[in-house]
A = this chain, B = another copy of it.
Amino acid sequence: MEQYPSPDMADVQLVTVLSALADPIRLDIVRALADGRPHPKTAEVWHFDVQKSTLSHHFRILREAGLTRTIVDGRSHAIQLRRAELDERFPGLIASLVDATA
């Protein structure tokens, strides 16, 4: 299917990742996703005060930057941090985001 493609981690640039993280909503998402497990994209689950189209936009930025992958199951989608790959490509980066008091 390859419906929602993420880039190869080897091609992911640090500055692209940092740009993706440089937004309050996306940073919150990534920090919440740091457990490495899939989380539903459902807008109501995320308490953000934006429309679902905006949230969808943020999910896309994260995926295209290489931070996340999308798991499709019927009409429900989940998003998952590519934790292991990221830890290998950018050691310590995700950990430092999680540790930090925002």
Interface residues of A (CB under 8 A from B): 13-15, 18-19, 21-24, 27, 89-93, 95-97, 99-100, 102
Contact = CB atoms under 8 A, between A and B. Distances in A.
**Copies of this chain:** 2
Contacts of A18: 18, 21-22, 27
A36 B101 CA distance: 23
Nearest to A24: B15
Given A15-B22, A15-B23, A24-B15, A96 B100 contact: no
Contacts of A21: 15, 18, 22
Given A15-B24, A27-B14, A95 B92 contact: yes
A15 B96 contact: no
